[in-house]
Amino acid sequence: MGRRRERGQLRITGPELGYDPVMPDMKSSPLATLAWLIEAGADEALLDEPVNRFAARSNPPLEGGSKFAQQIPAYAKAPVGHESHDVRRSLGEGGSGRGPAPPSTSPSPKMPSAFSTLPQGEGKRVTPTSALSTSTSSSDPIGRAMELAAGANSLVELKTALESFDGCPLKKSATTTVFADGTPAHRIMFIGEAPGRDEDRVGKPFVGRAGQLLDKMLASIGLDRTKNAYITNVINWRPPDNRDPSPEEAAMCLPFLRRHIELAQPEILIMLGAVSARHVLGRTDGIMRLRGKWLEYHVNGKMVPVMPTLHPAYLLRQPAHKKLAWRDLQAIEDKIKSLGLLELSPNAD
């Protein structure tokens, strides 16, 4: 497994691309090992010093992103526990509870069903157990992101953990940390790319022009972020000039996003645009090829159907493609109906 950087993307390569999956013995043949790593796509150093993540802890592998899950680098994986919990413990007692729940090691604070009503910064202060260990934030921000994300046992805790994370350079130029908006209780989760200017100002995803179009798209299939839809982004801080996030920036946000998905326990995921499909699913095909098809995301032992579709900002530029988005929305509506998601009462088990 390796990483190869191209413009604005993280590409994971692996055995299916034709290199020998058996790594040579590093001590007896360092050159062969180097050649193997380059062949595998690991041709770039991310940090000055190597990090032995096996020594740091031994986490079970993350399920998620189907094929991608087995191939994502260790740093981009959040640990997944084996225990089953009532989701109300994760979302707070106001959340809905169905399906396997993520690990929780501490009692969770109460979580309003409409997450949007949660003021910025409100919620229990998170002191993840990992925060008590030696901080690695400056030398290993991705590892630190993983620790913080893993230590959060509810959405409120995750938001607080994210806000406390200073490892991502994007945070320095951003005004706010943009976590999520909407209502997680109905298990319908949308994932966009990154905050823009308006989102950075307000601190919520999709509040600008693209957000207004997204709200119309949601309304066309009976969704409303204040009632039954939950929205977040891959990237939590506005990239300067709305540029594409770099693979490193994405890698620092991904542990939080993966934990976010675990805690929100969506029954259906919708990827808005190519960037989210690329980072969450590890799919580098163009969005035009990916859109409109149901793919799989595995989390907590469960397969979640995921549909990539066109980003509202793209639709503002290419209104002729709204008819494609409309087709996708109809498929999403059908899936929501077949899963009975709108019938979920926020406190149902």
Rounded Cα–Cα distance for residues 322 and 270 (Å)? 16
Please report how close the Cβ of residue 242 comes to ligand URA at its closest, in angstroms.
8
CB of 279: closest distance to ligand URA in angstroms?
A: 12
Closest contact distance (angstroms) between CB of 285 and ligand URA is 19
Give the integer Cα–Cα distance in Å for 99 and 266. 10
Nearer to ligand URA, 218 or 313 (CB): 313
Helix extents (H) in the chain:
30-39, 53-56, 66-71, 87-91, 141-151, 155-164, 170-173, 197-202, 209-220, 247-264, 274-281, 287-290, 312-317, 322-339
How far is residue 247's CA from residue 317's CA, in Å, rounded to a whole number?
25
CA gap 139, 137 in Å, rounded:
6
Q: Min. distance of Cβ 66 from ligand URA in angstroms?
A: 23
3/311 with CB nearer ligand URA:
311
Q: What is the DSSP string of 229-270?
A: -EEEES-SSPPGGGPPPPHHHHHHHHHHHHHHHHHH--SEEE
CB of 235 to ligand URA, least distance (A): 8
Shortest Cβ distance from residue 109 to ligand URA (Å)? 25
- Nearer Cβ to ligand URA, position 151 or 211? 211
Q: Is the dihedral of CA 167, 1, 65, 331 positive or negative?
A: positive
Closest to ligand URA by CB, 36 vs 179, is 179
For the bound state, the minimum distance from the C-beta of residue 57 to ligand URA, rounded and expressed in Å, comes to 32
Q: By C-beta, is 144 or 171 nearer to ligand URA?
A: 171
Q: Which residue is nearest to ligand URA (CB)?
A: 192
Task: Report the amino acid identity of residue 262.
Answer: E
Q: How far apart are CA 5 and CA 3, in angstroms?
A: 7
**108 phi/psi in degrees, rounded to 5:** -95, 150
Which C-beta is closer to ligand URA: that of 180 or that of 221? 180
Q: Which residues bind ligand URA (CB under 6 A)?
A: 192-196, 199, 205-206, 210-211, 233, 272, 313
DSSP for residue 50: -
Q: Which long-range contacts does 12-17 make (Cβ < 8 Å, 24+ apart)?
A: 12/41, 12/68, 12/71, 12/72, 12/73, 12/282, 13/40, 13/41, 13/71, 14/40, 14/70, 14/71, 17/41
CB of 213 to ligand URA, least distance (A): 10
- Provide the minimum distance between the beta carbon of 1 and ligand URA in the complex, in angstroms, as a whole number: 28
Question: Nearer Cβ to ligand URA, position 146 or 332?
Answer: 332
- Closest Cα partner for 177 from 141, 156, 209, 202? 202
- The residue among 272 and 306 lying less far from ligand URA, judged by its C-beta, is 272
Q: CA–CA separation, 287 vs 298, rounded Å? A: 21
The smaller minimum CB distance to ligand URA, of residues 235 and 251, is found at 235
The answer to whether the beta carbons of residues 243 and 194 sit under 8 Å apart is no
